[in-house]
Amino acid sequence: MNEITLLASDLTRRYGSHTAVNGVGFELRQGEVLGFLGPNGAGKSTTMQMLTGNLAPSSGSIEICGIDLLERPKAAKALIGYLPETPPLYRDLSVHEFLTLSAKLHRVPRKQMSALVERAKLRCGLDQAGGKLIGSLSKGYQQRVGIAQAIVHNPRVVILDEPTVGLDPIQIREIRELIRELGGEHSVILSTHILPEVESICDRVQIMHQGQLVFSDSIDALRRYRQGNTLEVGLRHPPAPGELEAINGVSRVEAAEDGLWRLHFAPGGDPTDTLVALAAERRWGLFRLQPAQTSLEEVFVHLTRSEALV
Ligand code: ADP
């Protein structure tokens, strides 16, 4: 197993009587891209700010590559790169000037400065944009600059808070690709409220809900969880719902959009074979049959209703 680059234990943050983050603990390993997923208000930003040393936890501890962030903040922070939800960009500086400034703030030694700035530009696809004013760049390119400032000092851990918010679909694809590439060399944590984002970029996912971790597993496990026990069925000549409900294994039938049906079944009671046979025999005109993906909202409802899975 790769080295642990970030270890958070029992992190809690209170605002007055409100507990925004409650007993969150997890680890991140070298080369991993970990997604923090949760609806707005779940506590993702508060967690990110604590992990980057920008907000003191009410209790709990954080280690970056074995260095205690609260006891030795300077040494630990040197190993972290952070892109906050609102990137701290100076619109009147050129890309090159801003990245040089960021490198200075991160205490990059003078001798390495120019090489590291060039490398960050190259890695973020900004090599042609060094002389441009940040204010004149598109939002997608500004976000590249935000990511470049987070990696310019070559940190071990890169933390990105909602990195694709406000971008158009093409920019989103490019930024996601860039983040995936960063995962090779750094460990990356990103927060998002978009399920496909996590599924397309991350190796592992942690779902937060009301300040707590309610799911922590691989992306494959999340996919399996989402596939659940539901079939999406399209029938050109559907029978009465009662007839579908009577199929062995089916526990509930639900009309879905576009004339489709959702057939829920008990674990181990997959009714696919029977359904196909009956549809042919009774001429229901079966034109679609696929495992239904639960939406993010359904995942949250399910997770928070059942026992937490961490
Ligand atoms: P997310 O990033 O998942 O949207 P946040 O971490 O921003 O969630 O917020 C978690 C909870 O903490 C929310 O209920 C929010 O209202 C509350 N909160 C966040 N920052 C503050 C603050 N500075 N003062 C008081 N409450 C806050």
Q: What are the pLDDT digits (tens) for 128-152?
A: 999 999 999 999 999 999 999 999 9
- Tell me the mean pLDDT in the region 56-67: 97
Q: How many CB atoms lie within 10 A of CB 292?
A: 20
DSSP characters over 30-49: TT-EEEEE--TTSSHHHHHH
Q: Name the closest-CA residue to atom 27, ligand 1.
A: 15
- 303 Cα to the center of ligand 1, angstroms: 21
Distance, CA of 253 to chain centre: 32
Does residue 49 line the site of ligand 1, with CB under 6 A? no
- 92 Cα to the center of ligand 1, angstroms: 31
Is residue 67 a contact partner of residue 75, using CB atoms and an 8 Å limit? yes
The helix (H) or strand (E) run that includes residue 223 is: helix 219-227
Q: Name the closest-CA residue to atom 7, ligand 1.
A: 45
* Predicted pLDDT at 138: 93
- 229 Cα to the center of ligand 1, angstroms: 34
Does residue 206 line the site of ligand 1, with CB under 6 A? no
Provide the whole-model pTM: 0.83
- 18 Cα to the center of ligand 1, angstroms: 9
* Predicted pLDDT at 308: 44
Does residue 204 line the site of ligand 1, with CB under 6 A? no
% of the chain exceeding 90 in pLDDT: 74
For 181, phi then psi, to 5°, come to: -65, -40
User: Which ligand 1 atom sits closest to the C-alpha of 21?
Assistant: 10
- Give the pLDDT confidence of 231-287 residue by residue, as tens digits: 999 999 999 999 999 998 898 898 888 889 999 887 778 899 999 999 999 999 999
- 179 Cα to the center of ligand 1, angstroms: 25
Q: Which two tokens stand for residue 39?
A: 């609806």
Query: Which residues face 8 on adjacent strands?
Result: 26, 62
Mention every residue, 6+ apart, whose C-beta is less than 8 A from residue 107: 78, 153
Does residue 40 line the site of ligand 1, with CB under 6 A? yes
Full set of structural domains in the chain with CATH: 4-79+155-224 (3.40.50.300), 92-145 (no CATH), 229-293 (3.30.70.100)
Whether 206 has a pLDDT exceeding 90, the answer reads yes
Does residue 17 line the site of ligand 1, with CB under 6 A? no
Does residue 42 line the site of ligand 1, with CB under 6 A? yes
| Banded model confidence at residue 37, pLDDT cuts 50, 70, 90 | very high
Nearest to 38 by CA among 157, 198, 147, 180: 198
Query: Which residues face 6 on adjacent strands?
Result: 28, 64
- Give the pLDDT confidence of 75-134 residue by residue, as tens digits: 999 999 999 988 889 999 999 999 999 999 999 999 999 999 999 999 999 999 999 999
* Predicted pLDDT at 259: 82
DSSP characters over 243-269: HHHTSTTEEEEEE-GGGEEEEEE-TT-
| Banded model confidence at residue 175, pLDDT cuts 50, 70, 90 | very high
Q: Name the closest-CA residue to atom 21, ligand 1.
A: 15
Instruction: Classify residue 92 as exposed, middle or buried by CB count within 10 Å of its CB (0-12, 13-18, 19+).
Output: exposed
